[in-house]
Structure 1
Amino acid sequence: MEIVTLCLFLLVAVVVSGIVSRILPSALPRPIVQIALGAAIGMVAHVRVELDPELFLLLLVPPLLFLDGWRIPKEALFKDRGAILGLALGLVFLTVLGMGLFIHWLIPAMPLAVAFALAAVVSPTDPIAVSAVAQKVTIPPRMMHILEGESLLNDASGLVCLRFAIAAALTGTFSIWTAATTFAWMAVAGVAIGAGLAWGIVTAKSAFSRRFGDDAGSNILVSLLIPFAAYLGAEHLHASGVLAAAAAGITMTFTNVSTGVAAATRIRRRAVWDMLQFTLNGVIFVLLGEQLPDVVARARDTVAATGHQSVWWLGLYVLAIVAGLCALRFGWVWVSLQFTVYRSRWRDEDDATTSPPRRVIAAMTTAGARGAITLAGALTLPLTMADGRDFPARDLAIFLASGVILSSLVIAAVGLPLLLRNLRLPPDQGAESERNRARRAAAKAAIAELERVQHRMADGRDDADRFVDVAGRLMDQYRERLDALADSDDAQGRPRADDQLEREMRLAAIRAERRAIFNLAHRREIASDVAEQMGRELDLVDARLTRFGTGG
């Protein structure tokens, strides 16, 4: 009962954090408020949460990575794949190597293998935390897409490096060939398993629904179970469960997951996932705060392992590690962007005449906040060695990782608004052009569908003129949209409740619009986020018309 009560307190803290972060004049970012509330709970609660790292990773991480992969604009992911892979792989490996050596030099009492493990723990970034701390400032879309794509991949590379660092600490040996082949297997197999499972489950569910019917609850539950199936399947085969969950989410965009699902179900599924994302993100940071009192309580014993007497040395170590991380990230981002500019100039591209503003490079550096994966990775450090001795410097590594999380969040909360304020970047004209293209294609598809439905419904009827009149009126509205590219709401006004014929024709037209829009997205003629946004608008109209038709 006490554990259940504590869980309820954690959920209440998540709710309160959202209220507090909006009320405070300083607009404190939500993760920092959640950590503070968790620390308050940890100081007053009589029951401690003993986090099982494997259970923590299984329950909290897969659905969040799955949702990130599902919702991230795929065109941005592929367009900036070079920069994303560089940050997710190259920067992570450089961070593990450079920071591992630096931490061992800084703290000689920490064995080299444990220093590499700590470096691997603090290497992955958390863009969800960045988006939370940047609520009051607009992050350029392309920058945010790169950060999101980086997080989908660097979690896996960081955890793989952590696994080998722990193995080296336990066995005292390390093979670069074994590490390379194992990483290749974990990455390739993880992506294949996640994508294959998502595709197979969605295809099987769609086939079953077409034959036997379906309901909203079943569809939503299946979408919730897919990330766990991908994660567990990959881990069972010693592949990367983190990459599998992310790959499953990315695959959802390329399946026909929405074609056989009612609009009302899609709306409910989206609401469920929004609630789950808010809850899990909040629980992660509240749990981090809840662990802080114990971590701080052990700090005095922990500092003795470093050969010092004052606890303030731990703070200096945290600041030194954060400074090292920022320096490596700044250097990598600067070199990568300069390389991109030189390559664009070599190709004679028009938009590559100037180097990127230094404020953009500094913002990319500041945005490298740490979060859930860093906490989970630190907690996976084993308690004992193979011979039963205590794992060296484990409490110290957990304290330093927690300090890096807090420091990076504060730096992002303070630095991003300052760096991005009044920053002028070239406007992105592509999104509006893609929306106009999608509207034209959707209107043409709706007109063609209305003509087909009109002939089918009027065939053999004595009152065929009535069908022609209703269809003609609706087609005229779509033709007006084609002429003026009016907003979709102008052509989707509320129908008369007693006109069943017009409602059915409108539904057919709207669903044809949606198919046309997502066909453009599948052919990569428009961005997937543009298609999703327009699809949500059509879903709302579809659900409203369907409700009218059923008397709701």
Structure 2
Amino acid sequence: MHSIEVVLAMLLAVVASGYLVRILPVGLPLPLVQIGLGAAIAGFFGRGHTLDPQLFFLLFLPPLLFLDGWRIPKQGLFRDKGTVIELALGLVLFTVIGAGLLIHWLIPSMPMGVAFALAAILSPTDPVAVSAIAKRAPVPKRLMHILEGESLLNDASGLVCFRFAVAAVMTGVFSLADAALTFVWVALAGLAIGVGVTWGIATAQRWLWRSFGEEPGAALLVNLLTPFAAYLLAEHVHASGILAAVAAGITMSYVELTGRVSGSMRVQRTAVWDTVQFAFNGIIFVLLGEQLPGIVERAVDYMHAHSVHSPWWLLVYVAVINLSLVLLRLLWVWLSMRWSLLKARLRGQQRPVTPWRIVLATSVAGVRGAVTLAGVLTLPLLLPDGSAFPARDLVIFIAAAVILCSLLAASLLLPVVLKGLELPADDSQRHEEDLARRMSSKAALAAVERRRQEMVQGQATGSVQLVNDAAAQVSLLYQRNLSRGQNVDADPEQVARIERDYRQLRNAGLNAEREELFRLARRGRISDELSRKLIRNLDLLESRQRD
């Protein structure tokens, strides 16, 4: 029963964190609150829960990476693909070499191979942590897209470097050619499997729906199992399960564009995935907090047994390594920016210089998270000769401390660095939204007219008038979208004011409708089933108004 109690306590901690982050006046980011609650759970139960890293990888990472790949804006990802690849591949290798050498110099008792393994597992940034921090900092959208794309792709490169460093420690042999070939296989096979699994499942589902009808519950369950299928299949052929889950999610976004899923299923699926995302994100950080007391205790024991320094030197190690990671990232981003400007000049192009605060924010936003934690816990306990894996407890402590420090630094520094930053106005999104509204409204008006003509054929005069009145009411909703986009020279402030007033009035009407439906249900005038159905429709309308 102990394990079940721990799981329930973690879920309760996730629920409590959602309220505490709003109650606490300090304004701490949600991950830090969840880590604190996890440490409290460990203290209450007297010890940390034994964590199986492989199970951790399998249970939590595939669905979260799948969802991040599904929801990441693809236009922004492919627009900045060069920058994303430079960060996801080049920066990882740069960090492994630079931080690995520094760690070995700073901690001579740590073998070179172990130092490189630690640097490798610290190199990937975490999409879950990045997204959590971005909610409390005014991160520009384009920068956020780059950070999300980097964190989705750098896991594979970091983990491959980590595995080869650990293999070098275990065997004493390292081959750069084998490492390069393995990375190519791990990346390409993982991407191909992720794409293939999603397309195969989507094709099979469409055939089943055409042949036997749509079953929402089964379809939703298949959707939840898709990332696990991609991950397990990729790991079975020794490819990157993480990249497979990401590729499966990106492919799912293109499957959605076929429009072959019913609206009701999309609503259900969104609600379920939002719940999964909130619960799993929270459990990851609660687990980190729950492991912390034991990690710190074992690191202190290591310092007493293997080091001439006081355990307080652990803080020095963590501070220096964190600072080095930020500086290495800052140097790489600056060099990458200068290289891009040089290439533009050689092509005769003029590119605006990136503000220094954006460069600094990109460096500070390199937040570590679940991949670092789960990866470092997979370190072997023993070497092939039966001796203990060197500095294992110290490596795990440093990795956990870097996760905490990167979260804290990003949450404190990003709002300061980006405060008041003025960037050139980007009206492309507003123009795209206006275009979408106009074109969809035109299509809707045409469809309404075609349907009206079909409905009035052979009808009596009174019935024809009722159909015409209903069509006129529906058409008014779409005419508003068309009229809003006709005057392109209108004052943006006036347009925004009109839109804001309309939403307030519309929401007032929706609130009144809801209150009346609740009143009728309380008095037994309508059934609770009908009231739930009608209120759900109003909730969806209100949600659309907010979007």
When the two structures are superposed, what TM-score results if normalisation uses the length of structure 2?
0.86
Q: Secondary structure at the match of 2:422?
A: coil
- CA deviation after TM superposition for structure 1 residue 329, in Å: 0.0
Return 182-191 or 95-104, whichever deviates more.
Answer: 95-104
- CA deviation after TM superposition for structure 1 residue 11, in Å: 1.0
CA contact (8 A) 1:192 1:244 kept: yes
Q: Which amino acid aligns with 2:430?
A: E
Among all aligned residue pairs of Structure 1 and Structure 2, give the percentage whose two residues are the same amino acid. 52
CA contact (8 A) 1:69 1:249 kept: yes
CA contact (8 A) 2:48 2:293 kept: no
1:280 matches 2:280:
yes
Q: Which amino acid aligns with 2:374?
A: A
Counterpart Cα distance in 1 of 2:458 and 2:359 = 68
Q: What does residue range 145-544 of structure 1 map to in structure 2 within 5 Å? A: 145-256=145-256, 259-304=259-304, 306-347=306-347, 352-353=351-352, 355-459=353-457, 461=459, 465-466=464-465, 467=467, 470-471=470-471, 474-475=474-475, 477-485=477-485, 540-541=540-541
1:132 matches 2:132:
yes
Question: What residue is the counterpart of 1:530 in the other structure?
Answer: none
Counterpart Cα distance in 1 of 2:134 and 2:248 = 28
Alignment deviations for residues 2-41 of structure 1 (CA, whole Å, 9 cap, x no partner): 1111111111111122222221211011111111111111
Q: Which amino acid aligns with 2:212?
A: F
- 1:307–1:254 CA distance, 2 compared to 1 (3 A): same
Q: Which amino acid aligns with 2:184?
A: A
Counterpart Cα distance in 1 of 2:53 and 2:100 = 22
Counterpart Cα distance in 2 of 1:252 and 1:369 = 26
Question: What residue is the counterpart of 2:17 in the other structure?
Answer: 17
Counterpart Cα distance in 2 of 1:257 and 1:195 = 15
Counterpart Cα distance in 2 of 1:415 and 1:264 = 42
Counterpart Cα distance in 2 of 1:60 and 1:179 = 27
Counterpart Cα distance in 2 of 1:415 and 1:306 = 35
- CA deviation after TM superposition for structure 1 residue 175, in Å: 1.0
Counterpart Cα distance in 2 of 1:484 and 1:543 = 20
When the two structures are superposed, what TM-score results if normalisation uses the length of structure 1?
0.85
- 1:347–1:267 CA distance, 2 compared to 1 (3 A): farther
Alignment deviations for residues 395-430 of structure 1 (CA, whole Å, 9 cap, x no partner): 111011111111111111111111011111112111
Alignment deviations for residues 167-223 of structure 1 (CA, whole Å, 9 cap, x no partner): 111111111111111110110010000011011111211221233222332222121
Q: Secondary structure at the match of 1:255?
A: helix
CA contact (8 A) 2:48 2:294 kept: no
Alignment deviations for residues 263-284 of structure 1 (CA, whole Å, 9 cap, x no partner): 2221221111111111111111
CA contact (8 A) 1:77 1:149 kept: yes
Alignment deviations for residues 290-327 of structure 1 (CA, whole Å, 9 cap, x no partner): 11111111122211465224101111111111111111
Counterpart Cα distance in 2 of 1:207 and 1:543 = 33
CA contact (8 A) 1:258 1:266 kept: no
CA contact (8 A) 1:263 1:543 kept: no
Q: Secondary structure at the match of 1:436?
A: helix
Counterpart Cα distance in 2 of 1:258 and 1:213 = 18
Alignment deviations for residues 31-52 of structure 1 (CA, whole Å, 9 cap, x no partner): 1111111111112214531111
Question: What residue is the counterpart of 1:103 in the other structure?
Answer: 103
CA contact (8 A) 2:133 2:410 kept: yes
- 1:182–1:303 CA distance, 2 compared to 1 (3 A): same
- CA deviation after TM superposition for structure 1 residue 97, in Å: 1.5
Counterpart Cα distance in 2 of 1:542 and 1:25 = 30
Alignment deviations for residues 501-527 of structure 1 (CA, whole Å, 9 cap, x no partner): xxxxxxxxxxxxxxxxxxxxxxxxxxx
- CA deviation after TM superposition for structure 1 residue 346, in Å: 4.8
Counterpart Cα distance in 1 of 2:154 and 2:49 = 28
Q: Which amino acid aligns with 1:381?
A: L
CA contact (8 A) 2:130 2:148 kept: no
Aligned residues: 502
Q: Which amino acid aligns with 1:299?
A: A
Structure 1 segments unaligned to the other structure (5+ residues): 498-536, 545-552
